[in-house]
């Protein structure tokens, strides 16, 4: 947290930058107000890097377009219905939104957009006091009608007005509360926390698309655990992601197993650490984080109390993949994300067979083939799934996975495993066997692929010999 003087100095430098100054002067010349608002102002006090700039104004969207067109390299009005105009001014991407006082009627899943008349009114209707900060331009005057600076200094998350009214206006703000506790490391004040618990059910009024977008933002935070715990404790998760609180399984006095809920959060923490340390994925990686969060959701449905105090979860990987697919579809995630997450969950236990006996090269090839383009994520998820406090066991599993990755790398170098395919293509198969395109060509192709996975590259001559022998022995 920077001092108020340091933050104001930083904001002054931003206001004096050519793109912002040009924009501020253009609005002033047109007789309209302009203020930098929300995240950029908050982040100046937190000492964080500022990215895209958000502004608010008394000008209507039509008037905003008239003002920015002469000074913008590009502009777009995709958010025009909500009062937002986007533009590229110099090197800065900006969004300019007309003062708003929109709210929900408790029935529709989208807000009623109502334009406001003053900056203070616009700020008071925002989600949290730390986001209800503005810098008037071009005079560079800080506006803080709700005590946001005090809350920033205290590390406190609080709504500008009664949380019951604020969450009633937009129930999605409860999920934003979870995101900001994670991304800012702030604590929710008691009244706001209590309102979340009593009003959690109103999240049902929000569209699945908006819920999933907010969940994705939370998971992309550097440390999303606190936000997820808040969602579970408040009851929000029971509505939007019920599989997560369901992991808090009751412990039978005669049967003991690790706390699946806490294990899941630890796996997510570790996956994020590996994601950053290995540096082979774009970070933050939503697919990996969803897979870590959901990898054990099949356990409640497969839990079985065995004799001798043992608890089993047979096939929870397969069941979990199906449950994850169902939940992510309900949340309107895209198909590529859904398929990738489900595949990772389905495969996340495969490695543990490697520690029980030596894998053949064929088994290693199949591991790579089945993972496909999710191999790096599977490496991370599998390593992250080791949460035992037994140092010897943890080291043994870690060394075993090191060995598996080394074998994969060696085979990949020798055989171009990233593009494993048979030694003969479809055209060659048809020519050798005298076939036309059809089902039998596919069967022959799959047979040669299995041969390739079992024994590595065969060469065209050996592949032809095996193909002919297989064809002759089919007993047609």
Q: Are residues 444 and 467 in the same domain?
A: yes
Q: Are residues 106 and 222 in the same domain?
A: no
- The reported pLDDT for the residue numbered 476 is 53
For every residue of 355-413, DSSP letters joined together read: TTSPPPHHHHHHHHHHHGGGHHHHHHHHHHT---S-HHHHHHHHHHHHHHHHHHHHHHH
For every residue of 245-308, DSSP letters joined together read: GGGSPPPPTT-----HHHHHHHHHHHHHHHHHHH--S-SS-HHHHHHHHHTTTTHHHH-EE-GG
Pair of tokens at residue 342: 């489900």
Q: Are residues 24 and 57 in the same domain?
A: yes
Q: Are residues 85 and 170 in the same domain?
A: no
- Asked which of 126, 154, 182 is the last residue of a domain, the reply is 154
As for how many domains the chain has, the answer is 4
Say whether 162 sits in a helix, a strand or coil.
Answer: coil
- The reported pLDDT for the residue numbered 216 is 98
- The reported pLDDT for the residue numbered 442 is 87
- The reported pLDDT for the residue numbered 131 is 96
**10-residue mean pLDDT series, the chain (476 residues):** 80 93 97 95 89 92 96 90 92 93 57 81 95 95 95 95 94 97 95 97 96 98 97 97 90 58 96 94 95 96 80 90 98 97 96 78 88 94 92 89 90 66 87 88 87 84 90 75
- Asked which of 241, 270, 290 is the last residue of a domain, the reply is 241
CATH number at residue 129: 3.30.460.10
Q: Are residues 364 and 454 in the same domain?
A: no
Q: Are residues 305 and 335 in the same domain?
A: yes
Q: Are residues 15 and 102 in the same domain?
A: yes
CATH number at residue 166: 1.10.110.30
CA distance 233 to 65: 45
- The reported pLDDT for the residue numbered 458 is 85
Q: Are residues 410 and 438 in the same domain?
A: no
Q: List the one residue out of 195, 201, 196, 176 whose CA is nearest residue 186.
A: 176
- The reported pLDDT for the residue numbered 417 is 56
- Asked which of 99, 128, 154 is the last residue of a domain, the reply is 154
Which domain, by its residues, includes 440? 426-472
Q: Are residues 51 and 65 in the same domain?
A: yes
């Amino acid at each position: 947290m920077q001092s108020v003087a340091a933050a104001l100095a930083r904001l002054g430098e931003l206001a004096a930058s050519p793109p912002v100054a040009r924009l501020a002067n253009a609005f002033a010349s047109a007789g309209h107000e302009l203020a930098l608002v929300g995240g950029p102002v908050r982040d100046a006090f937190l000492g964080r890097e500022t990215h895209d700039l958000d502004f608010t104004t008394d000008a209507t969207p039509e008037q905003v377009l008239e003002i920015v067109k002469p000074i913008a390299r590009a502009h777009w009005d995709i958010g025009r219905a909500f009062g937002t105009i986007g533009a590229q001014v110099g090197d800065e991407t900006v969004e300019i939104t007309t003062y708003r006082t929109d709210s929900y009627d408790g029935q529709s899943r989208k807000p009623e957009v109502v334009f406001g008349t003053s900056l203070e009114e616009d700020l008071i209707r925002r989600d949290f006091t730390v986001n209800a900060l503005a810098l008037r331009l071009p005079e560079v005057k800080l506006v803080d009608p709700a005590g946001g600076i005090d809350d920033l200094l205290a590390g406190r998350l609080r709504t500008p007005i009664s949380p019951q009214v604020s969450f009633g206006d937009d129930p999605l703000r409860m999920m934003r509360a979870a995101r900001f506790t994670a991304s800012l490391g702030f604590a929710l004040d008691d009244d706001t926390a209590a309102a979340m618990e009593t009003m959690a059910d109103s999240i049902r009024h929000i569209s699945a698309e908006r819920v999933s977008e907010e969940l994705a933002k939370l998971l992309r935070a550097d440390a999303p655990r606190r936000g997820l715990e808040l969602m579970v404790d408040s009851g929000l998760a029971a509505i939007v992601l019920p599989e997560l609180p369901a992991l808090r399984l009751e412990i039978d006095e005669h049967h003991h197993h690790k706390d699946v809920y806490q294990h899941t959060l630890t796996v997510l923490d570790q996956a994020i650490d590996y994601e950053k340390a290995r540096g082979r994925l774009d970070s933050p990686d939503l697919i990996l984080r969803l897979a870590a969060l959901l990898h054990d959701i099949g356990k409640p449905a497969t839990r079985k109390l065995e004799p001798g105090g043992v608890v089993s979860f047979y096939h929870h990987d397969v069941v979990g993949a199906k449950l994850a697919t169902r939940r992510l579809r309900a949340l309107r995630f895209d198909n590529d994300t859904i398929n990738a997450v489900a595949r990772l969950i389905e495969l996340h236990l495969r490695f543990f067979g490697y520690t029980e006996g030596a894998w053949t090269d064929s088994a290693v090839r199949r591991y790579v083939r089945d993972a496909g383009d999710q191999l790096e994520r599977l490496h991370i998820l599998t390593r992250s799934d080791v949460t035992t406090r037994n140092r010897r066991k943890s080291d043994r599993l870690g060394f075993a996975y090191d060995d598996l990755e080394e074998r994969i790398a060696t085979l990949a170098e020798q055989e171009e495993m990233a593009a494993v395919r048979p030694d003969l293509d479809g055209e060659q198969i048809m020519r050798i066997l005298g076939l036309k395109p059809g089902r039998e060509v596919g069967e022959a192709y799959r047979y040669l692929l299995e041969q390739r996975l079992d024994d590595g590259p065969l060469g065209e001559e050996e592949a032809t010999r095996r193909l002919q022998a297989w064809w002759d022995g089919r007993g047609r």
